């Protein structure tokens, strides 16, 4: 009886998902090699390395072989591809099954010593170079304020504070802080890639 109960409990635990993120599905054949497109659509300037901070490592942690944005830029600039090249031509030049494109609909960040405030609207698109079209996409819109992390006035009771602090469970972390826009973008890339299925 005890053995049967233990097996039932293990079966239930195996079916449960504790923490983590539920990935969004990929349509079509799962790519083996993914090239990061070297221009962030809508960004200014679109080729700045800032937009790609941490993206290659976040994608690599999902199990894909990655062609970084720098390598992609170099290969495409030295190839004989024209402006009207198809995704399959690009895929052959890069030896990649898909291209990961970043679209920057909005991004503002300010702060000199530490990031004070930021707003963003970003979208990641995984586009097949094997004829499957857009296989996966993820959009993230949000804001960040360092003021939410500042300590409260110790001279006042908690009810008298201007903004009530968020409840953090024992052993949990408070609101996250970022040193600069690059650190924030690396965090956002990591968040987005957690929604990409592992290979």
144-196 confidence digits (pLDDT tens): 988 754 455 555 555 555 555 555 455 555 557 898 999 999 999 999 999 99
3-state secondary structure of 59: helix
Q: In whole angstroms, give the CA distance from residue 24 to residue 62.
A: 13
**Span 24-32, mean pLDDT?**
96
Q: In whole angstroms, give the CA distance from residue 133 to residue 140.
A: 21
- Count CB-CB contacts under 10 A for residue 189: 24
CATH-assigned architecture of domain 22-163+177-193: 3-Layer(aba) Sandwich (3.40)
**Model confidence pTM above 0.85:** no
């Amino acid at each position: 009886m005890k053995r049967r109960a233990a097996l039932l409990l293990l079966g239930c635990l195996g079916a449960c998902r504790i923490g983590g993120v539920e990935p969004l599905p990929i349509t079509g054949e799962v790519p083996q090699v993914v090239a990061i497109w070297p221009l962030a659509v809508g960004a200014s300037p679109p080729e700045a390395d800032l937009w790609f901070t941490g993206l290659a490592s976040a994608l690599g942690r999902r199990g894909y072989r990655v062609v970084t944005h720098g390598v992609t830029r170099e290969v495409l600039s030295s190839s004989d591809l024209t402006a009207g090249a198809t995704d399959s031509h690009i895929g052959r030049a890069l030896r990649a099954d898909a291209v990961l494109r970043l679209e920057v609909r909005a991004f503002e960040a300010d702060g000199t010593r530490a990031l004070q405030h930021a707003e963003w609207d970003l979208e990641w698109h995984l586009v097949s170079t094997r004829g499957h079209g857009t296989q996966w996409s993820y959009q993230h819109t949000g804001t960040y304020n360092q003021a939410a992390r500042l300590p409260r006035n110790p001279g006042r009771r908690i009810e008298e504070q201007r903004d009530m602090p968020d409840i953090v469970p024992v052993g949990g972390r408070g609101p996250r802080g970022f040193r600069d826009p690059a650190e924030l973008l690396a965090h956002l890339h990591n968040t987005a890639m957690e929604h990409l299925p592992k290979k």
